[in-house]
């Protein structure tokens, strides 16, 4: 059965520093993988997704993630954190037929001035 783990329920970075949010998945078949962001008291926004093809996926707001099958990982990165990046980030997975999405527990990102 598909599942997602996110290492670190809370991550703090300094403004301008690298953002690295970790995600590992469990799936018996090639999955689709997603990162969503949820700002305080707001809805859920899709940052990026991997389906097939290029394993390095670029998303909105300068974020990117790399699908590594050998490590069953899909870590999210951003070279330089901005105060506006403070939010909750969810990694998610979808197995064939790739219709519904199953979420990880989430990582809360804080950005320190």
Partner 1 sequence: SAVISQKPSRDICQRGTSLTIQCQVDSQVTMMFWYRQQPGQSLTLIATANQGSEATYESGFVIDKFPISRPNLTFSTLTVSNMSPEDSSIYLCSVGGGAVSYGYTFGSGTRLTVV
Phi, psi torsion values for 59, nearest 5 degrees: -125, -160
Specify which residues 5 forms β-bridges with. 24
60 binds partner 1 (CB under 8 A): no
- Find the binding residues for partner 1 in span 35-54 (CB under 8 A): 36, 42-44, 46, 49, 51
Among 28, 54, 99, 113, binds partner 1 (CB under 8 A): 99
Number of residues lying near partner 1 (CB under 8 A): 21
Cα-based angle 75, 103, 9 (whole degrees, multiple of 5): 60
- CB 3 to partner 1: min, Å: 12
Which tokens is 22 given? 């970790």
CA dist 81 and 86 (Å) reads 9
Judged by the rule CB under 8 A, the positions of this chain that interact with partner 1 are 32, 34, 36, 42-44, 46, 49, 51, 90, 94, 97-106
């Amino acid at each position: 059965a598909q599942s997602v783990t996110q290492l670190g329920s809370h991550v703090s970075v300094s403004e301008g520093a690298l953002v690295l949010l970790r995600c590992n998945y469990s799936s018996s078949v090639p999955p689709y993988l997603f990162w969503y962001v949820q700002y305080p008291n707001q809805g859920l926004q899709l940052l990026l997704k991997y389906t097939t093809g290029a394993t390095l996926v670029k998303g909105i707001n300068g974020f990117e993630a790399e699908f590594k099958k050998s490590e069953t990982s899909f870590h999210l990165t951003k070279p330089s954190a901005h105060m506006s990046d403070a939010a909750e980030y969810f990694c998610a997975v979808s197995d064939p037929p790739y219709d519904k999405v199953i979420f990880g527990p989430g990582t809360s990102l804080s950005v320190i001035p």
